[in-house]
Amino acid sequence: MLRFQKIVHIKLLFISFLMYCFSFQAQYNVQSKNVLLSKDYSDALQEWNIRYPSEKFHAVYQPYLFSSIVEYSDTVFSKKSYPKIKSLALSKVFNDAPNKRNQYQLQILPIIHSIQGFDGKFTSENGIGSQVYLNINNDFTLYGLGTIYSSTFPYFLDTIIQINQLIPNIGFPLNTQKNRYNYLYWNAYASYSKSFFNFQAGRGKMFIGNGYRSLLLSDVSAPYPYLKLQTNFWKIQYNVFYILLQHYIPGNSLNTLQNKYSTMHTLSVNIFKNLNLTLFENVVWQGTDTNRHRGFDPAYLSPVIFLRPQEYQQGSADNVMMGLNASYILSKKVLFYGQLALDEFYLKEIRAGKGWWANKQGWQLGMYLLNVLGIKNLNARVEYNEVKPYTYSHGSPSQNYAHLGVSLAHPFGANFREFVGQLTYSYNRWKIQFHQVYAEIGKDSLNEKSNVGQNIFLSYTTRSKEYGNYTLQGIRTYFNHSQVELSYLLTPVMNLRASIGVIIRSNNDVAVRYSNVWLYAGLNCNVFNFYRDY
Of 87 and 353, the structure prediction assigns the larger pLDDT to 353
Alpha-carbon distance of 428 to 433, in angstroms, equals: 14
Alpha-carbon distance of 520 to 122, in angstroms, equals: 10
Phi, psi for 356 (deg, rounded to 5): -65, 135
Residue 181: which pLDDT band, with cuts at 50, 70 and 90? very high
* CB-CB contact of 270 with 58 (8 Å): yes
Computed over its alpha carbons, how large is the radius of gyration of the chain? 23
Alpha-carbon distance of 204 to 224, in angstroms, equals: 5
Alpha-carbon distance of 364 to 10, in angstroms, equals: 45
| Residues 476-528: tens digit of each pLDDT | 999 999 999 999 999 888 889 999 999 999 999 877 888 899 999 999 999 99
| Residues 223-241: tens digit of each pLDDT | 999 999 999 999 999 999 9
Residue 4: which pLDDT band, with cuts at 50, 70 and 90? very low
Average pLDDT rounded to a whole number, residues 252-276: 90
DSSP string, 109-171: EEEEEEEEEESSSEEEEEEEEEEEEEEETTTEEEEEEEEEEEEE--HHHHHHHHHHTSBTTTB
Domains belonging to the chain, first-starting first, are: 2-524 (2.40.160.130)
